[in-house]
A and B are shown apart, each in its own frame.
Chain A
Amino acid sequence: MIARLIARDARRGLIGAAWLPIAFFLLVAALIPFAIGPDARLLARIGPGGLWIAALTAALLPVERLIEPDRAAGVLDQLFLHGAAEESVAAAKIAAHWLTFAPLLLLAAIPASALLAMDAPSLARTELALAIGTPGLAALAVAMAAVTAGLPRAGSLAGLLLLPLAVPLLIFGAADAYLLEAAVSLLLTAGAPFVAAAAIRAGRT
């Protein structure tokens, strides 16, 4: 059931608007040179941080479609009745969300790095940090989607909750502190299913 759920969510993510956060990511990256000016050395210095901010804001876009549609359609109830624990459901949703979000993001980081005049070693370091950090980011997005599911203006609320919690990912990711980034990412990935599961259970009416 859980493997089927991951496959289903990944399929829905990809036929849906998987390109939308990626387009947004590229757009934010493209805005930075307009805001900062064409000084290549300055751009290259702020490039990795710019990519991280673009990635964080792009991660907010899909939050509303991660949990709420399944809650409203009764899918979460039926998964429970078919014997899937909410924690497993949340973990499956994190996995599926990461699969539809992270590989495309890592790919889009290549043209984005060109926009920011980053050199190849700098891009490689940022790609590695993004690869380590995105599971934590996906986990955080699913947890906040579950916490806000069914609420009015859930998307904005989830953003307000998610961004502060993503600050450690941002700090260690932009500083290329891979071990600390991995620790934070692991902590979020391990903890988020329990937060999301509690929120799903509490949201049942």
Chain B
Amino acid sequence: MTDALLRFDGVALVRGGRLLFERLDLAVGPGEALQVAGPNGSGKSSLIRLAAGLLRELRGRVERSPLALADDSSALDGELSLGRALRFWSPEPDEAMDALGVGHLAAVPVRLLSSGQLKRAALARVAASRAPLWLFDEPLNALDADGAARLARLVDRHRSGGGAIVAASHQPLAGDWRRLELGT
């Protein structure tokens, strides 16, 4: 498979002097979804940040397509309305906001949003990007049942459009995900 959107070749990662994993191979192609699972501290978030290019691998090689990342920080300016804050990152966020059920909050300042609404906003930031590869770090954190269902629909739509998703989560994700267990 040469058209993988994310590929790890014999990758080793060290954080704070601790070897989190080594000789890790993985390939995520168009239409695929990979859940990175494992106990707390097993390196799920680090794997996502490595996949994003925010961390450097110690050994091996990482190849990645253009990507978008949603982690615990929303990267949205608190004093702006949600619509304007999202527009800093992508010109057309309206559809993604509706898909995550935060369209009616477009005029509300980001600092007034609840943590669940902020999580939806961060996911909308990813959905509004045109990146083929989506990276999620604990996407279900703070999401209610409606939010989780909307996320599952969004994931399905992205996959059927030829996109790929890698999500780190210790909770089961709705849908058909390949699993990678860390720390075992």
Contact = CB atoms under 8 A, between A and B. Distances in A.
Contact of B53 (A8, A15, A80): A80
Contact of B73 (A4, A12, A73): A73
Interface in A107-132: none
Interface string B44-67: 000001001111000000000001
Interface residues of A, number: 15
A74 B67 contact: no
B48 to A, nearest CB: 11
A73 B79 CA distance: 13
A77 B69 contact: yes
B88 A8 contact: yes
Interface in B112-165: 125
Contacts of A75: 75
Nearest to A74: B73
A74 B88 contact: no
B79 A15 contact: yes
A8 B74 contact: no
Contacts of B79: 12, 15
A111 B21 CA distance: 62
Contact of A77 (B15, B73, B76, B77): B73
A157 interface: no
A204 B69 CA distance: 15
Contacts of B74: 73-74
A73 B75 contact: yes
Contacts of B37: none
A80 B54 contact: yes
B32 interface: no
A12 B125 CA distance: 21
Contacts of A81: 52-54, 67-69
Contacts, number: 40
A77 B125 CA distance: 14
B52 A72 contact: no
A82 B49 CA distance: 14
B73 A82 contact: no
B77 A74 contact: no
A205 B15 contact: yes
A78 interface: yes
Nearest to A16: B79
A15 B77 CA distance: 13
Contact of B77 (A8, A80, A82, A204): A8
Contacts of B69: 77-78, 81
A205 B85 CA distance: 25
A12 B77 contact: yes
Contacts of A15: 79
Given A204-B54, A204-B55, A205-B15, A78 B77 contact: no
Interface string A1-28: 0001000100010010000000000000
B55 A74 contact: no
B50 to A, nearest CB: 11
A82 B54 contact: no
Contacts of B53: 80-81
A81 B79 CA distance: 23
Given A77-B75, A204-B49, 4 more contacts: A8-B77, A74-B74, A74-B75, A205-B15
